[in-house]
């Protein structure tokens, strides 16, 4: 299945059905009069997050979605049937943006979450509603209200706990395959990864986290160089970033600076996220060179520099443990924040047992 993380679609809700003009004309029935029914309501257009989807490929081949219009009212005070709703099913993590591609309309982060994109038109009133003591035989009815229409952007941001970043060919896909059961394409040339991959890392005792591998960045990616920085949106929700640096590269320190510069140019708070820096492919570099690189990188990051080799597995387990500790701390903080919000909503924020 081809990966597609954004699509532009046109949605239109159903128009309301018109009311009807009708009169009772039954033999031997006293007190006849207007009995025109109301028109049915037009169908709504919804977007809903569902399980089992991980791409927006369905919206590449169909971009127009229209809900059913409401049916006309009928005599004997019969209301027309409402139009059926149209539901756009999307993967969890999808954002809905207005046509300007900036205004956020909805952010669907949980299964079953849904948002209204276009409300159906209200059905018109039948002539039975317009009967008065002075006008006992009204011959007018309301038309149904028109539906709403708009263009919206669907943008998928993968739900991952940690994201792998770095220059092309830094070994991100190799690490993902070593840490999980994911099987991304691995080769010895740059830009092997053309779209994001997810892998579930098992830490034992039912502890697990999701690791995202995004395509490599090069200098000028925010201006479209390489394959651009569009895929950085998939790590906006991550608890931390794992910055892999190829220890066999010509200038690993400059490689670190380039990627950090692209994160800053992209924005969205990525440059402020917690970061683990790791020298990869250490099995192919002499110890003296590694010590030199660690010292230079510490001057840039003022943090711990980890060593690993995705190919041999050396250093992978300690790195995964460090990632898990950061992810677990993030999850605990989110649980505490949610409980505090629920307690405040109940009005017992200051109560303790």
Q: For the chain, where do the domains classified as CATH 3.40.50.300 start and end?
A: 162-337
pLDDT at 204: 77
Question: Among positive and negative, which fits the CA dihedral 294, 295, 301, 302?
Answer: positive
pLDDT at 235: 85
Give the CATH number of domain 6-156; options: 2.70.210.12, 3.30.450.20, 3.40.190.10, 1.10.287.130.
Answer: 2.70.210.12
Task: Say how far apart CA 77 and CA 138 lie, in whole Å.
Answer: 14
CA dist list (Å): 293 to 168, 251, 303: 19, 9, 13
Question: Among positive and negative, which fits the CA dihedral 216, 256, 325, 271?
Answer: negative
Q: For the chain, where do the domains classified as CATH 2.70.210.12 start and end?
A: 6-156
Phi/psi region, residue 19 (left: phi>0; alpha: psi -120 to 50; beta: rest), is: beta
Average pLDDT of the chain is 88
The residue among 119, 55, 139 whose CA lies nearest residue 90 is 55
Those residues of the chain that have pLDDT short of 70 are 1-2, 185-193, 222, 224-228, 348-353
CATH superfamily label, 162-337 = P-loop containing nucleotide triphosphate hydrolases (3.40.50.300)
Kindly state the tokens that stand for 200: 């579930």
Task: Say how far apart CA 273 and CA 212 lie, in whole Å.
Answer: 15
pLDDT at 157: 87
pLDDT at 206: 74
pLDDT at 15: 97
């Amino acid at each position: 299945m081809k990966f597609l993380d954004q699509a532009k679609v046109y949605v239109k809700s159903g128009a309301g059905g018109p009311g009807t003009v009708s009169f009772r004309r039954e033999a031997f029935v006293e007190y006849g009069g207007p009995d025109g029914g109301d028109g049915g309501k037009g169908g709504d257009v919804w977007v809903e997050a569902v399980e089992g989807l991980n791409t927006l490929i369905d919206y590449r081949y169909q971009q127009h979605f229209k809900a059913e219009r409401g049916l006309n009212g009928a005599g004997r005070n019969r209301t027309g049937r409402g139009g059926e709703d149209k539901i756009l099913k999307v993967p969890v993590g999808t954002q809905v943006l207005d046509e300007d591609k900036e205004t956020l309309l909805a952010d669907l982060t949980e299964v079953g979450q849904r948002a209204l994109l276009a409300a159906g038109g209200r059905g018109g009133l039948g002539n039975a509603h317009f009967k008065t003591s002075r006008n006992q035989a009204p011959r007018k009815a309301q038309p149904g209200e028109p539906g709403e229409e708009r263009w919206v952007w669907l943008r998928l941001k993968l739900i991952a706990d940690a994201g792998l970043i770095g220059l092309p060919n830094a070994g991100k896909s190799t690490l993902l395959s070593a840490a999980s059961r994911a099987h991304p394409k691995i080769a010895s040339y740059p830009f092997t990864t053309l779209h994001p991959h997810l892998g579930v890392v098992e830490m034992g005792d039912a502890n697990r986290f999701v690791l995202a591998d995004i395509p490599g960045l090069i200098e000028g990616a925010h201006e479209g160089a390489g394959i651009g920085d569009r895929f950085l949106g998939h790590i906006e929700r991550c608890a931390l970033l794992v910055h892999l640096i190829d220890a066999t590269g010509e200038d690993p320190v400059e490689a670190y600076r380039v990627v950090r510069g692209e994160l800053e140019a992209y924005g969205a708070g990525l440059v402020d996220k917690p970061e683990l820096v790791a020298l990869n492919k250490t099995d192919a570099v002499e110890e003296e060179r590694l010590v030199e690189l660690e010292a230079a990188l510490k001057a840039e990051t003022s943090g711990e520099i980890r060593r690993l080799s995705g190919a041999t597995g050396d250093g992978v387990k300690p790195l995964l443990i460090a990632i898990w500790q950061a992810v677990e701390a993030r999850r605990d903080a989110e649980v505490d924040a949610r409980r505090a919000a629920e307690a405040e909503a109940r009005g017992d924020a200051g109560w303790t047992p």
